Structure 1
């Protein structure tokens, strides 16, 4: 049977390079300064994130894979046959392979990824692994409304798959907005299968975002490399450092790029001043209890139908349906 792989499709809603200057200018004009985390994911950033997932301190990927090893068949049974699987932020899609292997007669797999090269690699990989599966890639920003391609046949249900812990990168209000958007896109009878990192010992959480090999620090500072390349800024990476700390009151890791000295950086036609030890916020990584996330889902018009955890109870995958 021939592989049914569609052409890589760009829905024209990704932030274009021409917007990066405006985004950076706006973010550096805030007090405190902040930049959106999607700026991490150029080609090099995506490669570095894959390296982060392999670091010994980064428990999240191992925990989720352990979870899927134990529960993938049960999850597939809950989803049922004839599913169209739409994955947000597909990346290398390791967990997705484990799920697709268990699904009964899936209609199609639609990876949605903002970085074109990781998406192409994912499509090629899945074309080899699942030669009879229709693959409909979409190069897009999943936080914006998506124009979904027409599936090859009518699915019994749409399942939006959001693995990893990316939902934790959104503050509560933004996470609710994203879940509402997903609720609309999944349609009647659809569902959302989402990975949620759980609250645990704060030292273990902090270590995951401060690996000894320094890969996470390189990943964070690569954002400045991207900005230099795309808009002609002159960030001196040696004058900035990565900082990630767990805020137990807010239940989240807070990641910053910190200026190590007083300096000015060219951004467009302007010069932006940084003070010594001035911190620029670039990412949150929220952690939840099962009760916390159930409450969040309720605010988006959803309810948790099923939830699974890895054997060490560090990570969860939850299936949300309309309330």
Structure 2
């Protein structure tokens, strides 16, 4: 069953209310909020590489509050253990049984702060939950909540004592972006105290059941064959670029299609257009590329490579059937 125009309009209206509500706390960052919402509704996860104090925690908390969900924050440190993330089984002496104590990963929105400061073993525990959607402890499987969104952060400065995420693990994140500093007008409003309510007291605008319905509905967005061909050509171009040692995988292509379907509904459309693909190419594909060391030394970045390929790869010229 394909989404109808009326369903797309209703979907867009609900999404706009969520974005507007979160923006009461995170001023002037509607695009980043939409990316976070797109990741959630596409059943993926978001990686933020940003300096401290730009509102990463506020984004996670406000997004969870807006959909009447729960949120947890985990500060990743070198001594953090996998059980501190997933939970563990504890023996109850009174009942003589083992009880599972869930970890912070059992929440609607989980903020994994400075994920690159934890050991690779702990990083893998979180990434496994992100991929599988459940935790297995002592042979017992415990599903996480739905919807389930991990917002992981990396600090681009102070790299001493960190464990860089391998390329294979970066590929697990649906999108990577940055919040960035607010513009002058937003900064002035923040300093004047005009931000509005704190995220802790932000009123929900939608129920979790509605969000689950939106996730299912986003899967039914129409994608014309010429769009899939466009995405395939764009992904294949990343593998042959002169500055790229390893291009985007098929997982990256699938991620771009999933995000484009959700992003289209946020605009009130029940079909994907090339502009949806162009808008999401950088956050979805850039972190999946591995540059040639010499090109990287010369100042080439993965974002500049994707931007170049978006310009050079011709979009479909045929009329899109809807």
Same-fold call, TM > 0.5? no
Which band: TM-score by shorter chain? under 0.3
Which protein has the bigger strand share?
1
Q: Which has the higher helix share?
A: 2
